[in-house]
Amino acid sequence: MFEFGTFIVSIVTFLILFWIIKTYGFAPLARMLEQRRQLIEGQITEAEQNRLQAEKYLNEQHILLDEARKQAKEIVDAARARADEQAREIVVAAEEEASRHLESNRQLIERERAEAMNQVMSSVSSLTVDLSEKLLHRHADETAHNEMVQEAEKMLGDLAC
Protein backbone atom coordinates (compact mmCIF):
# COMPACT_ATOMS: atom_id res chain seq x y z
CA MET A 1 0.00 0.00 0.00
CA PHE A 2 2.80 2.42 0.88
CA GLU A 3 4.52 3.51 -2.33
CA PHE A 4 8.01 4.78 -1.82
CA GLY A 5 8.19 6.32 -5.30
CA THR A 6 4.99 8.30 -4.84
CA PHE A 7 6.23 9.38 -1.42
CA ILE A 8 9.52 10.83 -2.70
CA VAL A 9 8.14 12.23 -5.96
CA SER A 10 5.22 13.94 -4.20
CA ILE A 11 7.64 15.68 -1.83
CA VAL A 12 9.76 16.84 -4.77
CA THR A 13 6.69 17.87 -6.76
CA PHE A 14 5.28 19.77 -3.84
CA LEU A 15 8.54 21.61 -3.25
CA ILE A 16 8.74 22.60 -6.92
CA LEU A 17 5.09 23.70 -6.90
CA PHE A 18 5.71 25.58 -3.67
CA TRP A 19 8.61 27.42 -5.23
CA ILE A 20 6.58 28.34 -8.33
CA ILE A 21 3.50 29.39 -6.32
CA LYS A 22 5.61 31.38 -3.91
CA THR A 23 7.49 33.19 -6.66
CA TYR A 24 4.63 33.88 -9.05
CA GLY A 25 1.55 33.63 -6.84
CA PHE A 26 2.42 34.69 -3.34
CA ALA A 27 5.32 37.13 -3.61
CA PRO A 28 3.45 39.94 -5.47
CA LEU A 29 0.58 39.73 -2.98
CA ALA A 30 2.97 39.76 -0.05
CA ARG A 31 4.78 42.73 -1.59
CA MET A 32 1.45 44.53 -2.00
CA LEU A 33 0.50 43.79 1.62
CA GLU A 34 3.89 45.07 2.75
CA GLN A 35 3.38 48.22 0.68
CA ARG A 36 -0.01 48.73 2.25
CA ARG A 37 1.44 48.21 5.73
CA GLN A 38 4.12 50.79 5.03
CA LEU A 39 1.57 53.16 3.50
CA ILE A 40 -0.67 52.96 6.55
CA GLU A 41 2.26 53.21 8.91
CA GLY A 42 3.54 56.24 7.01
CA GLN A 43 0.16 57.89 7.05
CA ILE A 44 -0.26 57.31 10.78
CA THR A 45 3.20 58.73 11.46
CA GLU A 46 2.44 61.68 9.21
CA ALA A 47 -0.85 62.34 10.96
CA GLU A 48 0.92 62.16 14.31
CA GLN A 49 3.57 64.60 13.13
CA ASN A 50 0.95 66.94 11.71
CA ARG A 51 -0.89 66.92 14.99
CA LEU A 52 2.29 67.74 16.92
CA GLN A 53 3.14 70.46 14.39
CA ALA A 54 -0.33 71.93 14.71
CA GLU A 55 -0.05 71.95 18.48
CA LYS A 56 3.33 73.63 18.24
CA TYR A 57 1.95 76.26 15.88
CA LEU A 58 -0.99 76.85 18.16
CA ASN A 59 1.31 77.40 21.13
CA GLU A 60 3.46 79.73 19.06
CA GLN A 61 0.39 81.66 18.02
CA HIS A 62 -0.66 81.97 21.64
CA ILE A 63 2.74 83.24 22.63
CA LEU A 64 2.82 85.69 19.73
CA LEU A 65 -0.65 86.93 20.55
CA ASP A 66 0.30 87.49 24.18
CA GLU A 67 3.43 89.34 23.13
CA ALA A 68 1.51 91.50 20.69
CA ARG A 69 -1.05 92.33 23.34
CA LYS A 70 1.67 93.26 25.80
CA GLN A 71 3.46 95.38 23.22
CA ALA A 72 0.25 97.19 22.28
CA LYS A 73 -0.36 97.96 25.93
CA GLU A 74 3.18 99.27 26.33
CA ILE A 75 2.85 101.45 23.24
CA VAL A 76 -0.44 102.90 24.42
CA ASP A 77 0.98 103.54 27.89
CA ALA A 78 4.06 105.22 26.47
CA ALA A 79 1.97 107.37 24.17
CA ARG A 80 -0.26 108.41 27.03
CA ALA A 81 2.73 109.31 29.19
CA ARG A 82 4.29 111.31 26.38
CA ALA A 83 1.00 113.11 25.73
CA ASP A 84 0.73 114.04 29.42
CA GLU A 85 4.29 115.30 29.41
CA GLN A 86 3.70 117.37 26.30
CA ALA A 87 0.49 118.80 27.70
CA ARG A 88 2.30 119.85 30.86
CA GLU A 89 5.15 121.41 28.85
CA ILE A 90 2.67 123.29 26.68
CA VAL A 91 0.85 124.62 29.73
CA VAL A 92 4.11 125.70 31.36
CA ALA A 93 5.28 127.39 28.16
CA ALA A 94 1.94 129.15 27.79
CA GLU A 95 2.07 130.34 31.37
CA GLU A 96 5.56 131.70 30.88
CA GLU A 97 4.53 133.40 27.67
CA ALA A 98 1.53 134.91 29.33
CA SER A 99 3.52 136.22 32.32
CA ARG A 100 6.14 137.60 29.96
CA HIS A 101 3.47 139.43 27.93
CA LEU A 102 1.92 140.73 31.12
CA GLU A 103 5.23 142.01 32.34
CA SER A 104 6.13 143.78 29.13
CA ASN A 105 2.65 145.28 28.89
CA ARG A 106 2.85 146.52 32.43
CA GLN A 107 6.21 148.17 31.72
CA LEU A 108 4.82 149.73 28.56
CA ILE A 109 1.86 151.07 30.46
CA GLU A 110 4.11 152.36 33.16
CA ARG A 111 6.33 154.07 30.66
CA GLU A 112 3.43 155.59 28.75
CA ARG A 113 1.81 156.72 31.93
CA ALA A 114 5.04 158.38 32.99
CA GLU A 115 5.40 160.00 29.58
CA ALA A 116 1.79 161.12 29.59
CA MET A 117 2.23 162.45 33.12
CA ASN A 118 5.36 164.34 32.08
CA GLN A 119 3.57 165.83 29.08
CA VAL A 120 0.54 166.71 31.13
CA MET A 121 2.75 168.24 33.84
CA SER A 122 4.73 170.32 31.36
CA SER A 123 1.61 171.53 29.61
CA VAL A 124 -0.20 172.13 32.91
CA SER A 125 2.82 174.05 34.30
CA SER A 126 3.11 176.21 31.19
CA LEU A 127 -0.64 176.71 31.24
CA THR A 128 -0.45 177.63 34.91
CA VAL A 129 2.31 180.14 34.21
CA ASP A 130 0.39 181.56 31.27
CA LEU A 131 -2.67 181.77 33.43
CA SER A 132 -0.84 183.42 36.25
CA GLU A 133 0.74 185.92 33.74
CA LYS A 134 -2.68 186.73 32.41
CA LEU A 135 -3.95 187.12 35.90
CA LEU A 136 -1.06 189.25 36.95
CA HIS A 137 -1.11 191.23 33.66
CA ARG A 138 2.51 191.31 33.41
CA HIS A 139 5.10 189.63 31.43
CA ALA A 140 7.43 187.53 33.37
CA ASP A 141 10.81 187.42 31.86
CA GLU A 142 12.43 184.31 30.67
CA THR A 143 14.19 183.40 33.88
CA ALA A 144 11.20 184.13 36.08
CA HIS A 145 9.10 182.11 33.71
CA ASN A 146 11.42 179.13 33.98
CA GLU A 147 11.53 179.51 37.79
CA MET A 148 7.84 179.51 38.02
CA VAL A 149 7.47 176.58 35.67
CA GLN A 150 9.91 174.58 37.79
CA GLU A 151 8.06 175.55 40.93
CA ALA A 152 4.72 174.59 39.38
CA GLU A 153 6.11 171.31 38.12
CA LYS A 154 7.52 170.56 41.51
CA MET A 155 4.20 171.33 43.17
CA LEU A 156 2.29 169.37 40.54
CA GLY A 157 4.70 166.53 40.92
CA ASP A 158 4.07 166.58 44.61
CA LEU A 159 0.37 166.69 43.89
CA ALA A 160 0.47 163.92 41.37
CA CYS A 161 2.59 161.69 43.45
Partner 1 sequence: MPAFPYLFYNTFFPINIITIAMMILTGIVVLVVLRLAQRNLDVRKPRGLQNLIEWAIDFTANMARDTMPSERMVQWILPFAFTMVIFLFVANWLGIIATISIQLNHPIPWLGLTAQRLALAHGEIPLFDSPTSNMSMTLGMAVMVWILSHAQGLRHPRKYFRYYRNPMAIIEEITNPLTHGMRLYGNIFAGEALIGVILSIPLVFGWLPVSIPLLLIWLLYSGFVSTIQAYVFTILMTLYVGHKSYGDQVDHV
Our finding on whether 157 is near partner 1 (CB under 8 A) is: no
* Minimal distance, residue 4 CB to partner 1, in Å: 6
CA distance 75 to 69: 10
CA distance 161 to 154: 10
C-beta closer to partner 1: residue 22 or 138: 22
C-beta closer to partner 1: residue 4 or 142: 4
* Minimal distance, residue 24 CB to partner 1, in Å: 6
CA distance 65 to 82: 26
CA distance 73 to 77: 6
Integer angstrom CA distances of residue 76 from 1, 41, 82, 85, 124: 106, 52, 10, 14, 70
Our finding on whether 137 is near partner 1 (CB under 8 A) is: no
Site for partner 1 in 4-43 (CB under 8 A): 4-11, 13-15, 17-18, 20-22, 24-30, 32-33, 35-36, 39
Size of the site for partner 1 (CB under 8 A): 31
For residues 140 and 101, the answer to whether their CB atoms sit within 8 Å is no
* Minimal distance, residue 69 CB to partner 1, in Å: 47
C-beta closer to partner 1: residue 32 or 76: 32
Site for partner 1 in 38-77 (CB under 8 A): 39
CA distance 144 to 148: 6
